[in-house]
Chains A and B, each alone.
Chain A
Amino acid sequence: MGVTATPNLTPSVASAGNGVPEPPTDEALLELLRDGSTSAGEMLVKRHCQPLLRYLHRLVGSEHLAEELHQQTWVSVMDHLDRFDKSSASGGFKAWLFRIATNKANDHWRSSGRDKAAKQTLRLVHADEHAPDASHRMEGSEQEAKLREAIDRLPQNQRQVLMLRYYGNLKFVDIAEMVGCPLNTALGRMHKAMMKLKQIMEQ
């Protein structure tokens, strides 16, 4: 019986090989950014742009809001540059970045109230779907629509764990710490979220 762990499916940063110089780590780029290097900052932003934007989009359901939270996340990174300590930060810069993004999303949910935010999200999603160029968008595909519906129907805490695991590629231990729950709870939420997604996607 060959029992092997599933390799992580999230695309990671290209590793060194065939004499190609290894790209600088996030932590090294952050050090350069602290010293005022804008290009190091740009490299960091580019590296995490896609997963972070998708994570926020899946989490809040609105394109506009996702982009706003993306910017707020980076403002917060700049504001707290000196507080990041690579030796003590579990999960490295990426976990720290997603933690900030998660906090921003939580702040949004808290400040606007769940009902209000849900209504707004619904309105924005509705507006997006009925936009004149919607037919040209790939997001109008059946699979995407189904997935969006399935994710929207997940409870917020399950959605958060699933998205952090998928887009942040974070360890469950870090996710549990990030969302403030025991490890067993985080694993339970992950399991329930996957089950619900499967159920909805198969309908």
Chain B
Amino acid sequence: MTSLLHNLENNEAILLMYLADELSAEDRAEVEHMLGSDGGMRAELERLRALHDGTTAAIGAADAGARLPVSEGVAVRRVMRMMRQWQIDHAQAPPPEEPLRELRFPWWSYPLTTAAAVLIAFLVWWGNRPDHPPRRVANFQQEPPSGPSDLHGFRQEVAGQMLLDSYDTMEEDFARMVVNQPVDSLLERLKMSAEMRKTDLDL
């Protein structure tokens, strides 16, 4: 046991600890040595002993003449009822739930990734969608017209389509306008267009 004696502030504290028998054997021997040589300390010890005895006797006498706040039997019964209930509750208690599996990434990253994927898919679609409305393409697979008037119309349409392709930015209305022009005029325009292209490429 470590020495407490030198941590005690005054004689009252030392003597109370001595009376309570809470000092180590060495400390007790030291206190008894002090008591043997100090009459004042001995008197103080007797005063504290009388005070302690008087207090405990007073409380004991008062308790002997006083009933408990509730009879012991009733108090024990009530506590036992509560204790049994506690045991029942804990026996029936469901096993503790397993903690939720921890996510590898922060929870907010999942909706964010989904949104980003949707956005990228949209942009890819947007970038690859056709710029112009589908062009009217002459159906070369169809049977060529048989009669001279039909042949003329067919040639006109093919020439118009070729001119339309050569310009590449023509609107459909303009195309309609040019295809209604005579075939020779269209062929002339077609030739001019080809020459202009060639010049552009040479430059």
Contact = CB atoms under 8 A, between A and B. Distances in A.
Partners in one complex: yes
Interface of A: 1, 3, 5-6, 8-10, 36, 38, 41-42, 45-46, 49-50, 53-54, 56-57, 63-64, 66-67, 70-71, 74-75, 78, 137-139, 141, 143-144, 147-148, 162, 166, 171-173, 183-184, 187-188, 190-191, 194-195, 197-198, 201
Contacts of B80: 38, 41-42, 45
Given A1-B35, A144-B65, A166-B59, A195 B51 contact: yes
Q: Is the interface of A mostly helix, strand, loop or mixed?
A: helix
A144 B63 CA distance: 7
Contact of B65 (A70, A141, A194, A198): A141
For the complex of A and B, 4 pairs with smallest distance between CB atoms: A63-B69, A139-B66, A147-B62, A187-B13
B168 to A, nearest CB: 85
Contact of B20 (A46, A64, A78, A171): A171
Given A63-B70, A143-B61, A172 B12 contact: no
B19 interface: yes
Nearest to B64: A138
B56 A166 contact: yes
A66 B78 CA distance: 13
Q: Is the interface of B mostly helix, strand, loop or mixed?
A: helix
A46 B75 CA distance: 9
Contact of B79 (A45, A63, A147): A45
Given A1-B42, A183-B4, A184-B13, A9 B60 contact: yes
Contacts of A63: 69-70
Given A75-B86, A139-B65, A162-B55, A190 B16 contact: yes
29 contacts: A3-B42, A6-B49, A9-B56, A38-B80, A38-B84, A42-B76, A46-B76, A49-B72, A49-B79, A50-B68, A53-B69, A53-B70, A54-B68, A56-B69, A57-B69, A71-B82, A78-B83, A137-B67, A138-B65, A138-B67, A139-B65, A147-B62, A166-B59, A183-B4, A184-B8, A184-B10, A191-B16, A198-B51, A201-B58
A6 B42 contact: no
A38 B87 contact: yes
Contacts of A36: 87
Contacts of B70: 53, 63, 67
Nearest to A193: B55
A198 B56 CA distance: 11
A65 B133 CA distance: 90
Contacts of A173: 4, 22
B38 to A, nearest CB: 12
A66 B70 CA distance: 9
B183 interface: no
Contacts of B67: 137-139
Nearest to A33: B83
Instruction: Identify which of B32, B45, B56 gathers the most chain A CB atoms within 10 Å of its CB.
Output: B56
Contacts of B154: none
A190 B137 CA distance: 111
A166 B60 CA distance: 9
